[in-house]
Amino acid sequence: MIIAFIKLRFMQILRTANGIGLLRFIFLLGLIAFIAFGIFMLTAEVLKSFYVSAICIFIITLIQIKRSDAQFLKINFIHFKLIYLTEYLLLMMPLFFCLCFHKQWTSIVSVVASTLLIINIDYSTKRKSLNTFIQRVIPLDCFEWKGGVRSTLVLIIIVWTIGLVTSFFVASVPVALFILGILPLNFNEKNEPLPMILSYERGTNSFLLHKIKLQIVLYTILCIPLIASFIFFFSDLWYIPLIEFFILTTTHIYIILTKYAFYKPNSKSNGSQTFGVIGAMGIIIPIFIPLVWVLSIRFYFKARKNLNFYLNDYH
């Protein structure tokens, strides 16, 4: 049964690969290889191998808490925990390979023991209907921010407050800006239903520009106090938060354009998710930034063409 299930998972991966196209799949493989190489190098040292293992365990814990098939597996399979375990161990095979290669036996034991504990976690997050002043001031047609802020409001407030209060430390504001810049990337993960984009009653170009404008305005409002505080304490380093802000803003624009370049109502697009990963990589690995800018131009035209099918009656 386990083997049949794993085969099923591989089929799912193959079909997803088929869905995103060969070139993008190769690109994604390249990214994975890049990360795998990073893991291989980091696991050479004892302390760093612990950090890498801890991050992997954290990711596996998130998967266990967030997985949507838990109820299905519990109802239909007696040995559902064995399925969890097999999946997680297979997922961590590259890590095990690296740890074995560098003979990091303590890390291996820790990862396996933690995985055995994780598969027993029977907890799922329930979404809360948070209706605060902040949700009310966000414009009605910026539903991505309304939804996104609702799910991450606590984190945003904590990061923003710590960033501002400790802005006399040189690294505080750049780190806060970085975290606050990454969070909105998820706001645009899902494609909205068609009535939502039709509700704007705008043509393609006007719709795209409106979306970009809203994103820039809201993100700027969030960042201005942090940037101002940083410049107040470190006026000679004024360009650091501004460059960071610029890179993150262009990444947000890229994510919006990617979303609508591959937009299909009521779904998550494989294409936009793959290219979204490239955008996110641009924030971490600077060599991707020019690629993100070039792709933004390409996706602007692709988004216009794609949305025109849906918004053609609003020109």
Partner 1 sequence: MITIENLVVSYNKRQNVINSLNLKLSKKTIHGIVGLNGAGKSTLLNAIYGLKSIDSGVIKSENKKMSKKEIAYLVSENYFYSNITAREYLALFKNTNFDIDKWNKLFLLPLDTIIDNYSTGMKKKLAFMVILKQDKPVMILDEPFNGLDIETCRIIHQVLLKLKEKNKIIIITSHIIETLTNLCDYIHYLECGKIKFTKEKVDFKEFEREIFELLEKKNEDLIKVLTE
The site for partner 1 (CB under 8 A) is made up of 126-129, 131, 135, 140-141, 143-144, 146-148, 150-151, 190, 192-196, 198-199, 201, 265-266, 309-310, 312-314
In the complex, minimum distance from the CB of residue 137 to partner 1, in angstroms, rounded to a whole number: 13
- Cβ proximity to partner 1, 34 vs 309, nearer residue: 309
- Three-state secondary structure of 39-82: HHHHCCCHHHHHHHHHHHHHHHHHHHHHCCCHHHHHHHCCCHHH
Closest approach of Cβ 185 to partner 1, in Å?
15
Q: Which is nearer to partner 1, 156 or 177 (CB)?
A: 156
CB of 204 to partner 1, least distance (A): 13
Tell me whether residue 9 or residue 150 sits nearer to partner 1 (CB atom).
150
Q: Which is nearer to partner 1, 120 or 129 (CB)?
A: 129
Closer residue to partner 1 in complex, CB, 82/182: 182
Shortest reach from residue 84's CB to partner 1, in Å:
24
Q: How far apart are the first and last CA of the chain?
A: 55
Nearest approach in angstroms of CB 75 to partner 1 is 18
Beta carbons of 307 and 208 less than 8 angstroms apart: yes
For partner 1, give the closer residue by CB, 64 or 188: 188
CB of 155 to partner 1, least distance (A): 14
